[in-house]
Chain A
């Protein structure tokens, strides 16, 4: 990778720690993600993957350390004092990242197009007409042009998740966060969703994802991060991290268990 001076990280997570009561969920996690990178976080459940992802758009706060996007601190005001941003500032910062959820979380009272238009009109200040045409563009991009006026309840899980992705990317976020987006899907619906993610990656979308789809992680990621016990235990290109002969004991155990249960 280029030196940090001429290619500063788009996302810079520095020594982030967080605990719930006496349980430490993140222990001084540091991770840099460059523009256009696809970084996949793997690890056993309880290792802090999802918490880390949720800290990036400040759905969860953290106790110490910093998370910067394009050099700007996400949840706290610029300057020395660690002061939480105002509600308005937080909303503006969150609009810079997109998030796709395990349980889709589409707005059930709005159509597929309506789900996508909400942020475009309320946050980006676009007109209804413009928002509608942007939402149609993204719906056709995820193969759902014909479902623009369907309510979420009328869509399959795979279709709902593709709307979820369209809703996130239509906002033109700097980074897309994907939180186990195929875990709630029937196996036969996983492929259609991953195909969309892959095509976004090919377009250069910067992504950080948590997933249990190892084959997909291996093929689509620039780098893989292995988390254990709230810390980054291994990080590198997929081939290195997923190599069977790794000397990292915890990683080896995780991969062995994973192979035993998934292949």
Chain B
């Protein structure tokens, strides 16, 4: 935060609109975490824009006392691209869901990520269509019964973080709606220049309650969650277990750590700039492995908005902006 940025408090980020999600919805926790984190980011409400598509999560902008644009289904990345290119000084946030961001808007998400527009993407993954009343989504597990799949879904789900990494994302993180670490992850996402992709496991209490309970439950979290940190060993279960590289299988494996000697157990150290490691972490089958959370991949490069601005400027150097001369260009002739 620089000295010129006015100090804001949580209430400065709350709009006067009554929040209309179902009581108990995970969205409330995410909203609060975002509002609580904003004062720490060195941005002002007037320079912040929240852009969303369609779905429960996409009502988010109405509850933020910032500029907000509730657009159309799946297209928030496109609108955000125009906003950021027109005014790169704005802090642009996208709020989307598994249906909005990965089904109808999957194409836009792909291109947003590969272009690396400087924006934060908060993808609320609840593995279900909430606003349309409970159909299975592209992240639903095989066999999900829903109004549109009474005999169970038969298609394979997409892994949001693996998708993002495959698209060339340069910041990929994972968090849980009610987890205290969400704020920290959001701060890291904001600090990254480029598209920051944050998958947030969000509990839909009406249509998919407790679908993440097996790893989200606080009681068993120590054994089921691994919060990765750059430069730190990949340990969980209070240091009793770790992730090591299985060189023969070209994958990760869980190893026991005796007496805290993780080096002896061969536990790998997290390198957030390593895309292959990140891909292994986000694709670990849960059960056999814990759920990887936190900033899994972070490897910055030039942002799309910066590149566009730079090219616009370079292409203008030494060129006249005389409109009259422009329209009279080419081979001309004069009639007396």
Bound together: no
Q: Which residues of A contact B (CB under 8 A)?
A: none
